[in-house]
Chains A and B, each alone.
Chain A
Amino acid sequence: MQNLSKAIIILIIILYCTISCNKKEFLEKIPSSKILIPKTLDDFQALLDNHAILGETPVLGELSADNYYLIQSFWQGLKNHERDVYIWQNNIFQSDEHIGDWEMPYQQVFYANVVLDNLPPATNEQDEAIRWNHIKGAALFIRAYAFYNLAQLFCPIFDNTILPFENEFGIPLPLEPDITATLKREEVTNTYNRIIADLSDAIRLLPDTLPMEHRNRPSKPAAFALMARIYLSTRFYDKALLYADSSLNLYSSLINYNDISTSRPIPFTRLNEETLYQSNMLSTTNVLKGLVVPNCIADSNLYRSYDTNDLRKYIFFGGTPNLPTLKGSYNGTIFLFSGLATDELYLIKAECLARTGNYLEGMVVLNSLLEKRWRTGTFVPLSAMDETAALNLILQERRKELPYRGLRWSDLRRLNREGFEITLQRKLDNIYTLPPNDRRYVLPVPHTVLKLNGSISQYPRN
């Protein structure tokens, strides 16, 4: 009996100690096979490959632009803010709680910040170090891309002539994944400085070659292309030329549109030859989509401007000649492509050459693009008498090559600065107009944001 007592007491003590000693290890088991704390490069790559989030870009700019019009009855059934933005209402965010145009890019910034914040220190191991660079570069690229897309909607246009008043209305720039931070509008100058800085860092880290099977992943050609787009929109044409050229030096393939089916509803695949970086306009929109929106009609002037031998007329548009509708684009889905592609770089290069006194060379670049767009054997190279004529031709072709790519709004903003005097008009029950350089070219911050963040100020749109 005595021995039994002892034995049992000893057993209890042993068991108790076992529990206490192995507790830490025992409790470290991750509760589900589904979840993890991102630690490895694979984990971060998986986050950056979340294309459903990282591949979406704002749509409100394109919705505000002049490449399409809507049938009244269809317009009436739209989400409130899409309906209001179509006619450039002052207060477009009356009642819709979630505005993806603000929320999505900031979610992308959050993903990028999570990666940047949690990425382990760089290793010396060759392969790992290269991958580490690519991941960090990709995160920086994504942040820059998101900030830039936001700036096109919510900031006044930034160029050499920005006024101090306008400069106050940059966007908030969260640089850490901190959900408790109070974010304020930064200056527009700072906004662009940050975008350029992030992108410059990204360029140093990203791979030189295009990831042919993963066009959702940033690369050096894509980063150069984005830089070119940014400098073009801010009217630093010499720098835009430099970066467009850098990108084209690394990758300059063009698709010959004669190889593309004109009958297929979605003519291109997501891995098409021209795409440098895949993204699409918000898939939540009810307006700008390929195929499925029969009441969203291409602008008549735009549609009429294509030559009958210009294949883009058949590849970009469906519907009937009277009511041409949109088709699938470089995204390879019904969602509209908003990413970076070589055709845009040809046009940036051509425009910047023309603007920097090299209009003849610019026309050569333009023609090399257009050659691939016309039916084989029908294309006669365009020529221009002088710089202005060349610029006008290039800008016209820019609009014809890049409709519904999310670029028109930025172009309207910058071209009106230069005196192009483009007035937009909508015809519904009433006629609505948007004069050049109107304050409504800066979109308001969604009211959900204003209610939840008292330190964000609203740009006075009227």
Chain B
Amino acid sequence: MGLKIPYIKTLAFIACLIPGTSALAQTVTFKKKKATLMDVLVAIEQQTGYGKFTDRAAREYAHPVDMDIDGEPIDTVLARFCRNQPLIWSIHKRIIYVRYDHSVPIPVEPSGITITGRIVNERNEPVPGATVTISNSNRVIATNDDGEFILENVTPNTRLVITSVNYESKEVRLEGDPVVNIQMKPRMSQLAEISVVSTGYQDLVKERSPGSYAKIDNALFNRRVSNNVLDRLDGVTPGMIFNKNIVPGLNQSSMTVRGRSTIFSNAEPLIVVDNFPYPGDVNNINPNDIENVTVLKDANAAAIWGAFAGNGVIVINTKKGRFRQEPQLTINSNITIGGKPDAYYLPVLDASNYIFVEQYLFEQGFYATKETGRVPVALSPAVELFIKQRDGIIDDAMLNASLDSLRAIDIRREKEKYFYRNSMNQQYAINTSGGGANHHYYLSVGLDRNLHDLVGNHSQRLTLNANNTYSWFNNRLTLHTGFGFSESNYTINNEGGLPVNYPYLTLGDNAPAYIELRQSFKEQVKNAGLLDWSYRPMEEIALADKTQKVTDSRVNVNLDFKIIQGFSARILYQYNKGQLEAENFHSPKTYFTRDLINRFTQVDSAGKFSYPIPKDKGILDKRNESYSAHNVRLQLNYLHEWKDKHKITHSISAMAGAEVRDICATLENKRLYGYNKETLTSIKIDTTIKFPQYHDRSQLLPIQAPSYNEEAFDRYVSFFMTARYTLDQRYTFSASVRKDESNLFGVEANKKGVPLYSLGFGWELSKEKFYGLTWLPHVKLRITHGYNGNVNKSVSAYITAALSNQSNAYGAPVGAIINPPNPDLRWEKIQTTNFALEFATFKNIIAANVEYYRKNGKDLIGNTPIDPTTGNLQYWGNVAKMEGSGLDITITSYNLNRKLKWQSILLFNYAKDKVTSYGTKHPTITPYYHPEQLNPIPGNPLYSLYSLKFVGLDPQTGNPIGMLDGHNSQEYTLIINSSNFDDLVFSGPANPVLFGNFRNTFTWKQLTFSLNISWKAGYYFRRSSIDYSALFRDESIGHPDFALRWKNPGDEAHTNIPSLIYPENPARSFFFKYSEELVERGDHIRLQDIQFLYDFNLKRSKKLPIKSLSIYMYANNLGILWKANDKGIDPDHIFDIPNPKSIALGLKVQF
């Protein structure tokens, strides 16, 4: 049926093109009983050459007429046929037009039935707002938010036409069935699809909310292959950046939504899983169980989360079954192979140069104090050789031969060979879902097995998910139960590092690494009867037995009840429980155990050994962390729509409720000595006795047996309310209020909680009558304004003390004041204003969403130095203010829409923050450029890179020259501690200000290919270089820049690397380390990943029980295309090795 209209149109069109076939009679002769309109028109056409054009209604409703015409004009024939019929006819330019007269009501056919239906998309998600038209009538109805519709009094075998902006129209013939489920196919050219976004409280039609949401639907979510949920948002979510190069202690968040708006409070976005904040590790969630993710970005979208929403909210919804869904079984499996980490990426001083430095230091007598000291501290193999040569134990030739063999060793080659390997991740996921009229279910099992790229490390995760929904009383009462469980087992036998810094360590031959105590001492005491004291790195990895078991469960019970028309109530409950059990068993063979036993070995006057730490037995370190959370929410919803005929003129939807959360976390640490893994027995140790250490008799130490318990409680009570009002489907007003209260420690003012509100307004300009731009059929403006908050539990209005786990030297418990009283303490508030413009050109060829926002952080908690005379060095309080602004631009374009389809999506983000006020300045510049301290300077971004002015090298000495009070200076101690802020250089923001992605998707037949390019720009980082201070003190493996150092006058023309001097000046090294010379631009473009997806067309082979089958390939971390620095540094990996390239192959089958 669907083909008929274009067919007729085409005919009419062809008829118009042939006006020259003229010499035909203008009269018609026609005779037929019960002739239809088409019979008549075809006859006229044949006899006169006149074209014909009719609408569908005319054909449908024209009654057949007995015709008997003999040579009469066309108009007579038409008049005859159309008499007493709801038809209008006309002739214009040799075309006959017959139309249905809409002024005549369509006769309602009696004895109709009532049908209920549900429209879903290809992923079984409801399609709200779709138009359902009964064919041949003007009866139209729109689906509700659940994609459902009810039609009363319908002919049993009538046809329904379903249309929706983003889906291809579909026509369905009713086969007398009162229940229909219709699945729609998305149009290739879809704009921001009509999507339902979830706030964790409500599902909203995105188009009807003025807030700023970013939705990652299932297809996009599954584009990337990974075992982590959040990874999959990287590079596809507008306004969101995943932070790299995280330094502990700087309160950097792993990800940032729309820039930074706090300093010391929680900086991570809130993660909501199935309606409630998720207190566990997100790694416990299997991405295969995730249906979609919504990121709430602005105040209006996130306001419903109040004081938790300051950093944005990520709402994760797990998969569920649907009512009246055929049972289906999906199997997804893939394998990811990753490359070996690049052992050559991080800078290392090569063995020759390293030995050169050691020889130089040896000649200067640098090692004399170590050699003759009371404690026999370790010296490197090369230094031991120099000593032997000096003492005449070996001759020069022997020394040189031994040094040469050391020079031939490269720790990087060793690591590549023995330490790293290819990683391999296997993922298996099976789920089944389905549903009847009153019940639906979802059940899944997932297994992930990961072999890590560090030899010795592997992990495994098992996940189970089950949910069931039951309904009674005609869907008025719905009960949903959900259960999720995961168990992850990690084996971490390789910590990733090596305990020595000399670059000529071999790993393969199990030679000892010279650590902690002198090797000669170790060998000597072994002969004296102590345990072998040597450390062999690869052997330690083989002996290690360090595991972590993480279990996590989640139980949901939701009760939904439709009270009366428009009103519904929900009671939601979620219980979470998680546990981490970490065990590190040091067997008697491990260095850890041997070392500790040796250190405590006692020798009596007769030379007999005794062992305060049990010999031949292991040591077990145990850590248990657990949490449990109860969440209860009561929620009342109200929805009312005012309809004018079949159109909704205005609607109001409101929600109010209250919520209680109670989270309890515990931590337990302990160490057991003399542990036997088989019998699980241990030996009690007296930790009060102090023993002289074997290697240092003057040092008296007790045996450490830490035992530690801690409990933490987080409690919240929140009240919330939100309402939306839509007028004429053009104007939307939205408002929400929330008040959060918590058990913040004894804060009288805060205890009353913080009320936060937001307002929003949306205007669909293109729906206005005056709007006339046909090439731009969709234009919408949105403005929102409001407040979010942030929680900081580290401060209190009252004086707060902590009891230490350790008693003082006299055995009494010790208390420390951790928080001076601060009666003015307030909650942090973040004011956000968002302006959005969205538009789409004709046929959605180009669609764009442009959002500009401003953020204003008020009352932010900061620490500011205060007069030490008060007894406190710093004050923690609401001393800081921040401002931020940014742009999120998403442009989607359909460049080709033929057999080969080509879609481009450009994400362009700009996010800049600025600290506008921040307590008192520190007296010196040191805390500002120091990389491990967070000390903002008003006017600059929170994370800024500061450095020291660098003039060049002294032509005489190769000393670096800095600036002090505006003059060239080599007074390094004064330079690095200057109190003149003009000596401090603001090098730029330390985090990308501009970032984004460019994703291109090509579809040809069943093959989809997509490629994602990402970039970051507008930021700076500090690279490493030779740090003589660290090199001499054996704290660093050195840097190849050493070879570029200043050696002779004149070198300063082509190098800025300072000369090697002795004695070393720590302040000189420190100055160079933080000088602007080592600052690099971070800008870069990277080919993030590519994906191939092939969907087998199984329609032709209906015999197979398979509904769909697809195979996919995904390659990740493909490399940098361009970068601003020429030092070979990946700006996302300044101090670690970049993630190796990986390739995944997978298969997904649906039965």
| Residues of chain A having any CB pair with chain B under 8 Å | 1, 4-5, 8-9, 11-12, 15-16, 19-20, 23, 26-38, 42-43, 45-47, 49-53, 80, 94-99, 102-103, 106-111, 113-114, 118, 172, 174, 177-181, 183, 213-216, 265, 270, 291, 446-449, 451-453, 456
Contact = CB atoms under 8 A, between A and B. Distances in A.
A368 B397 CA distance: 70
Given A46-B815, A50-B814, A103-B873, A448 B808 contact: no
Given A27-B742, A177-B820, A19 B717 contact: yes
B920 interface: yes
A34 B803 contact: yes
Given A29-B743, A95-B924, A103-B868, A4 B810 contact: no
Interface string B632-650: 1010100000000000000
B815 A50 contact: yes
30 contacts: A1-B473, A5-B564, A8-B561, A8-B569, A19-B717, A26-B660, A26-B662, A30-B745, A31-B745, A32-B713, A35-B818, A38-B801, A43-B801, A46-B812, A46-B815, A51-B810, A80-B977, A96-B977, A97-B924, A98-B873, A110-B820, A114-B799, A114-B817, A172-B869, A179-B820, A179-B871, A181-B870, A183-B869, A216-B808, A452-B866
Contacts of A94: 974, 977
Given A106-B868, A183-B870, A214 B812 contact: yes
Pick from A1, A27, A265 the residue with the most CB of B within 10 Å: A27
B920 A452 contact: yes
Contacts of A107: 868, 871-872
Contacts of A4: 473, 477, 561
Nearest to A98: B873
B153 interface: no
A96 B802 CA distance: 29
Contacts of B799: 37-38, 114, 118, 177
Pick from A29, A34, A214 the residue with the most CB of B within 10 Å: A34
Nearest to B369: A294
B713 A31 contact: yes
Contact of A34 (B802, B810, B865, B979): B802
Contacts of A34: 710, 712, 802-803
A197 B600 CA distance: 51
Nearest to A94: B974
Q: Which 9 pairs of residues, A with B, have the shortest CB-CB distance?
A: A110-B871, A46-B815, A95-B977, A453-B867, A33-B711, A103-B868, A451-B923, A47-B815, A49-B812
A106 B869 contact: yes
Given A103-B873, A106-B871, A110-B870, A49 B808 contact: yes
Interface of B: 473, 476-477, 559, 561, 563-564, 569, 571, 632, 634, 636, 658, 660, 662, 698, 709-715, 717, 741-746, 751, 793, 798-803, 808-818, 820-822, 865-873, 875, 920, 922-924, 926-927, 973-974, 977-979
A229 B713 CA distance: 49
A453 B869 contact: yes
Contact of B865 (A23, A33, A38, A452): A452
Given A32-B713, A99-B868, A216-B810, 6 more contacts: A47-B816, A51-B810, A94-B977, A174-B870, A213-B810, A213-B811
Nearest to B799: A114
A57 B816 CA distance: 18
B743 A30 contact: yes
B634 A452 contact: no
Nearest to A211: B810
B441 to A, nearest CB: 24
A106 B745 contact: no
Contacts of A8: 559, 561, 563, 569
B822 to A, nearest CB: 8
A113 B801 contact: no
Contacts of B800: 35-37
B698 A35 contact: no
A179 B810 contact: no
Contacts of A456: 867, 869
A36 B477 contact: no
B816 A53 contact: yes
Contacts of B751: 27
Contacts of A181: 870
A47 B662 CA distance: 31
Nearest to A150: B869
A223 B704 CA distance: 37
A35 B802 contact: yes
Contacts of A98: 868, 873
A446 B873 CA distance: 13
Contacts of B561: 4-5, 8
A361 B1145 CA distance: 99
Given A95-B977, A448-B865, A36 B803 contact: yes
Pick from A4, A20, A50, A270 the residue with the most CB of B within 10 Å: A50
Contacts of A49: 808, 810, 812-815
A426 to B, nearest CB: 20
A32 B870 contact: no
Nearest to A183: B869
Contact of B476 (A1, A16, A46, A103): A1
Given A32-B713, A215-B810, A47 B926 contact: no
B563 A9 contact: yes
Given A12-B569, A36-B801, A114-B799, A46 B477 contact: no
Given A27-B715, A95-B974, A452-B867, A52 B744 contact: no
Nearest to B476: A1
Contact of B801 (A35, A51, A95): A35
Contacts of A451: 923, 979
Nearest to B924: A97
B717 A111 contact: no
Nearest to A103: B868
Contact of A33 (B712, B927, B973, B979): B712
Contacts of B973: 80, 95
Contact of B563 (A5, A29, A213): A5
Contacts of B821: 177, 179
A90 to B, nearest CB: 16
A31 B744 contact: yes
Given A46-B815, A110-B872, A452-B923, A29 B715 contact: yes
A50 B802 CA distance: 11
Contacts of A446: 868
A414 B742 CA distance: 58
B869 A174 contact: yes
A19 B660 contact: yes
Contact of A23 (B571, B741, B817, B820): B741
A429 to B, nearest CB: 16
Nearest to A451: B923
Given A95-B924, A114-B817, A447-B923, A15 B810 contact: no
B809 A47 contact: no
